[in-house]
Structure 1
Amino acid sequence: MPTTLNIALIQTDLYWEDPETNRKMFEDKMASVPDDVDLVVLPEMFTTGFTMRPDKIPLSESQETLEWMKKISKQHNKALIGSIIFQEDEKHYNRLFFTTPDGNLESYDKKHTFTLAGEDEVYEAGNKKLIFDFKGFKICPLICYDLRFPVWARNAEDYDVLIYVANWPKKRINAWDTLLKARAIENMSYCVGVNRIGMDGLNYEYPGHSAVYDVLGEPLVFSKDNEILYATLNKEHINVTRKKLKFLEDRDTFSLKG
């Protein structure tokens, strides 16, 4: 059973509402990711930016990007994770996909749609938490605004890694930094946050601040620049720390209703 997981976080600007150009850009960046990386994490809505105009995106782009993720995973022998606009049954979703080289596919629909931007009026909210296994690690992926809701992220499943993909603006970046660290500490899990950079089509600025925190909230990597970040997650760090500090054993028990 593997005891380490090598991850890459692609923090970059995005081309506004332009899936084809964004796919090409990420494809170029993937070419520089080392062979020993197991998982590559992309930002929220990585083919379009955080647009509230899904009707401007051709219906075919949903499936085309999903097929692209499958192709890239297989081509580079790495898992991919990131969210896109996905249309299904005449409804739009901010849907995260996880793809692996052997064809495994998992998906998660953003639970907390961002009411401040009207996301709740355009995209359907999800109601199911996703936990999946990858190379010996239990992973829980969430999307942007979900970060503000600790009950939804609460580690009732003994997962090892919490991943947030985001378009988190500069004006509220202090909350992003603080809450990522808090989610790691309270859940005693690695917490990975990937944010975009640059200006979007509505002139909102995004400053990056992508990061990985260990189970004690210590940063492994952090950056504001347009770059690819790397980190190695260690299962022994999780097991040893949880055995020594049994905080999760004292957690409150509860159930969630969708």
Structure 2
Amino acid sequence: MQDINLSLVQTSLAWENPEANLDHFTKMLETSGNPADLVILPEMFNTGFTMNAVKNAEDMSGRSLQWMADAASKKNCVLCGSLIILDQGKYFNRFIWMRPDGSHEHYDKKHLFRMGDEHRHFSAGNKKLITELKGWKVMPLICYDLRFPLWSKNEFIDNDYTYDLLIYVANWPAARAQAWSSLITGRAIENMTYTAGVNRVGTDGRGYEYNGSSLVVAPDGHSVCRIPPDKEVVTNILLKATPMLELREKLGVGKDWDKFELI
């Protein structure tokens, strides 16, 4: 495993306006400074967290994915975030992992936010994604997934951990900011992995307020990075593999994890 550079993009989002959002992200990335291996955008980065799926959905050849491919190529990095996708007649809140060569993978949000009626407008995913970057195994999840620890449960198989970096992209309201920070920290500790959470700021078209508070937490529970609330910024962080590997070797927690299968 090599050390990896992350860029966390914490920003406001124009309501149901992909053109404005993509232009905004283009400008932010152009001035983001140091090159990154992985750039992380918020949940529904091109529209905000809207339930108007019919109006805002794109297919997998749509403008926003093409923008992601172009931006990833230009920055020579992996670019990721979620957006509304129409696939085989169903609408998904889909996380896209876009590589600089234009190849991509995706994860569909499993836990749909009932309080916001997401389950009435979108179909739930049922498969996890674990992908790879510079020797790191990476698992992305989306917002409300954070409240369900069994879905993010790491495993220790054949003397190795299933993943090394857990990512949450979100539109997590400011009213529940304490839960956001606490749950990100908990996921990092219990899974013996770096955990990154990227959240938006500002007010959306429904009047919900968001304060960002994006962060990265190490497996021992200490914060590698905490972005100040309400700040629009691209923050770069170096994730070092050695401290995580040494902690895993020292504590050996994975060897004692309970073995069970989700059904």
What TM-score, normalized to structure 1? 0.96
Q: Does 1:84 align with 2:83?
A: yes
- Distance of 2:249 and 2:59 partners within structure 1: 49
What residue number does 1:230 align with? 236
1:212 and 1:220 in contact (8 A); partners too: yes
How many residue pairs align between the two structures?
256
Q: Is the 8 A contact 2:85 2:93 kept in 1?
A: yes
5 Å matches for 1:178-197? Answer: 178-197=182-201
Amino acid at match of 1:143: I
1:8 maps to 2:7? yes
Deviates more, 1:22-31 or 1:49-58: 49-58
Farther-moved stretch of structure 1 (61-70 vs 224-233)? 61-70
Matches of 2:79 and 2:149, distance apart in 1: 25
* 8 Å contact from structure 1 (residues 198, 207) kept in 2: yes
Which residue in 1 is equivalent to 2:217? 213
1:64 alignment partner in structure 2: 63
In structure 1, what is the equivalent of residue 147 of structure 2? 148
Please give the residue correspondences for 1:97-246 in structure 2 after superposition, counting only pairs within 5 Å.
Answer: 97-156=96-155, 157-223=161-227, 224=229, 225-246=231-252
AA at the equivalent of 1:248: G
State how far apart, in whole Å, the 2-side matches of 1:233 and 1:60 are. 33
Tell me, which stretches of 5 or more residues in structure 2 are unaligned? 156-160
Note the alpha carbon deviations across 1:94-136, whole angstroms, 9 max, x for none.
0000011123311000010001111001000000011011111
Report the counterpart of residue 55 of structure 1 in structure 2: 54
Greater shift after overlay, 14-23 or 155-164?
Answer: 155-164
SS at match of 2:27: helix
Question: Unpaired runs of 5+ in structure 1?
Answer: none
Q: Secondary structure at the match of 1:217?
A: coil
Deviation at 1:61, TM superposition (A): 8.8
Aligned sequence identity (%): 44
Q: Which one of 248, 253, 258 corresponds to residue 254 of structure 2?
A: 248
After superposing on structure 2, the runs of 4+ consecutive aligned residues of structure 1 that deviate more than 6 Å are none
- Residue identity in the other structure for 2:179: A
- Cα deviation digits, residues 164-216 of structure 1 (max 9, x gap): 00000011111101000000000010000000000000010001110001111
After superposing the two structures, state which structure 1 stretch, 100-109 or 31-40, moved more: 31-40
Deviates more, 1:138-147 or 1:50-59: 50-59
Q: Hey, what's the Cα distance between the residues in 1 that align with 2:162 and 2:68?
A: 28
Question: Do 1:19 and 1:61's aligned partners in 2 also have CA atoms closer than 8 Å?
Answer: no
Q: 2:218 is aligned with what amino acid?
A: D
Inter-partner Cα distance in structure 2 for 1:146 and 1:231: 24
Q: Is the 8 A contact 2:217 2:225 kept in 1?
A: yes
Amino acid at match of 1:177: S
Shift of 1:231: 1.1
Alignment-mate amino acid for residue 36 of structure 1:
P
Q: Which amino acid aligns with 1:101?
A: P
For 1:66, give the aligned amino acid.
L
